[in-house]
A and B are shown apart, each in its own frame.
Chain A
Amino acid sequence: MSTSPEKPSSRRSLLTWFSGAALAGSAAISAIANFVFMKPRATYGQPSRYLIGRPDDYPTGTRISVDARRICVVREGQKLAVISTICTHLGCTVGISDTGFACPCHGSRYDQDGNVTGGPAPKSLAWYRVQLAPNGELEVDTNAQVNQGTYYNL
């Protein structure tokens, strides 16, 4: 039986196919590598856990906006909570209003607990975990969100 004339050409096409796949694969890996490169492994921004001072700095019955941290510290009696003032719509800093919070950018409004009462905001403001650090200061962890209405008992 003689060698079929298709044999060499099919081997060639297989090699061509492999080469093409190898080139395309390399290109894809390079592209992915670029995205990996672009994604920073360490960021230089603010730490997610920080101290905000002693409980005495926040007298009972007050709602104090800590602008630098973009949080609002709420104290009622011996209970204390930290609510984010980052608007859930597009990241502007909300201000404290008579009825709760109001966003200057697109008019989102929230009540005292951060529930949406108007405007385009899709969800309520985040509540962060807060507790006393060993040195007697309050420590906020913005990576740890707690359920709305979860107060820390001093």
Chain B
Amino acid sequence: MSTAAPPPTEPAAAARKTGGFLPGVLGLPKTIWDSVFRHSLPDSDLGAAQTSFSNFFLHIHPVKVHKNTLRPMYTLGLGVMSFVTFVVLTVTGILLMFYYVPSTTQAYDRMLDLRGSVAFGTVLRNLHRWSAHAMVAIVALHMARVFLTGSYKRPREFNWIVGCVLFLLTLFASFTGYLLPWDQLAFWAITVGTAIAGYAPLIGAKIQFLLLGDQAVGQEALLRFYVLHVVVLPAIITLMVAIHFWRIRKDGGLSRSPEADAVSPAGNLKVQLVNEAGAGKPTFGLMGFVRGPFTKVGNVPDNAVYSWPNLLVAELFVFVITIAALLVVSLLFNAPLEEPVNALHPPNPAKAPWYFLGLQELVSYSAFWGGVGVPGIEVLLLMLVPYIDRKVSGVGKWFARERFLANTLFLTFAFLNVVFIIIGTFFRGPNWALVSPF
């Protein structure tokens, strides 16, 4: 805190003191403005701190963040990117709801209406579809980043689990949305997908029946998937995202290597207390208290910078880039819409969405192992990894040498999944026979 804040000016209070009616009325817009935005754009460190502190939307950020958090090559911005896709999906999804009817007789026509007669209908649907695909991919990459930098380790084990749950919720939200256009792609992907759920031991058939609300995919399934997709899952995801963000701060910010915290010997930094109240008796407030590695007392120097503007500009950058990319893709490529549902004739081959094609490829060898066994083990291993791999070395570095085994195992799993997805996408033809895409 090098510079002292200028004494706060309060025109409303000044007007009250002068007692004039007219100045009070004239000052009303400014009074209202000041009651909403408590601080003008900051020009000092104190102002930067107070801005983050007193604004609801900025308050989710700490006043200061570690410099390591801002390194683009460390985080690749993937967490913020995931969140941006979720926001885009929420906004476009709510808009699409105004024109959509979850009925087997109307849903497909509404898809055509979006194309034909709704203003911006095509681009909204494109945005929603491509953002959904992007979110699945980006959340998976975010997970890979967190794993490969060892960021799931103490004290971030629980946040890793929250992240795993968010990944599953993302897949489920995408899966439920897949049925809504009520075209051939939708119908058969969900027929296959829910049949996979039916292979779960003991409760599989019951889960399948609960999901579909009937013996086969039909009106009940469409309605159920709709409610799950537009209310239940977004609500749960929002709650989990809030927990995910809150946990980041409680765990001392993003992970970083111990070297990133290394600083010059303490002692030569003077802390100057700033009298905030302006005049009279000096009063000081305890602004916040965070346990763990971020607690700083008095003269401990740090490698932190103010969130305003450093972190906010970084986030804004990721936000703009992500939205720009989604918009470009949505303007160039139309979301697919196949023939309306024909429950009698599955397309040949009937393929699930790309992120499930790896599973479908496995399922073509064995329904139980491909649909339940292997994914179940993978999810369980992912969730338990912070409790299995408990060495604290190698945190905060990409591909740390100390983490060679863990990273290799993870990359092997990821690589196999990608290989199966590629086989399922490009090398499978009618009757799921091997074909050459070339």
Contact = CB atoms under 8 A, between A and B. Distances in A.
A107 B433 contact: yes
B192 A91 contact: yes
A89 B345 CA distance: 16
Interface stretch (A1-9, A12-20, A35-43, A72-80): A35-43
Interface string B214-230: 11101110000000000
A61 to B, nearest CB: 24
Interface in A54-88: 67-68, 70
Contact of B367 (A44, A70, A93, A122): A122
B210 A35 contact: yes
Contact of A93 (B206, B345, B360): B345
B162 interface: no
Interface of A is mostly: loop
Contacts of B188: 92, 105
B344 A104 contact: no
A45 interface: yes
Contact of B192 (A70, A90, A119): A90
Q: Which of B196, B210, B215, B219 has the most CB of A within 10 A?
A: B215
Contacts of A105: 188, 192, 346, 348-350, 432
Given A44-B220, A92-B192, A102 B366 contact: no
A44 B191 contact: no
Nearest to A68: B344
A92 B350 contact: yes
B158 to A, nearest CB: 22
B363 A120 contact: yes
B353 interface: no
B364 interface: yes
B345 A43 contact: no
Contacts of A91: 191-192, 194-195, 216
Contacts of A90: 191-192, 195-196, 363, 367
A104 B192 contact: no
B192 A45 contact: no
Contacts of B213: 38, 40, 43
B349 A104 contact: yes
B209 interface: yes
Contact of A45 (B206, B215, B348, B365): B215
A106 interface: yes
B431 interface: yes
B367 A45 contact: no
Nearest to A67: B344
Interface in B342-357: 343-350
B430 interface: yes
B215 A43 contact: yes
A41 to B, nearest CB: 11
Interface in B186-219: 188, 191-192, 194-196, 206, 209-210, 213-216, 218-219
B372 to A, nearest CB: 12
A102 B214 contact: no
A43 B220 CA distance: 8
A116 interface: no
List the 5 shortest-distance A-B pairs measured between CB atoms, nearest first.
Answer: A104-B348, A107-B432, A90-B195, A67-B344, A91-B195
15 contacts: A40-B214, A43-B213, A45-B220, A70-B344, A91-B192, A91-B195, A92-B191, A92-B192, A104-B350, A104-B432, A105-B348, A106-B360, A107-B431, A119-B432, A120-B364
Interface of A: 35, 38-40, 43-45, 67-68, 70, 89-93, 102-107, 119-120, 122
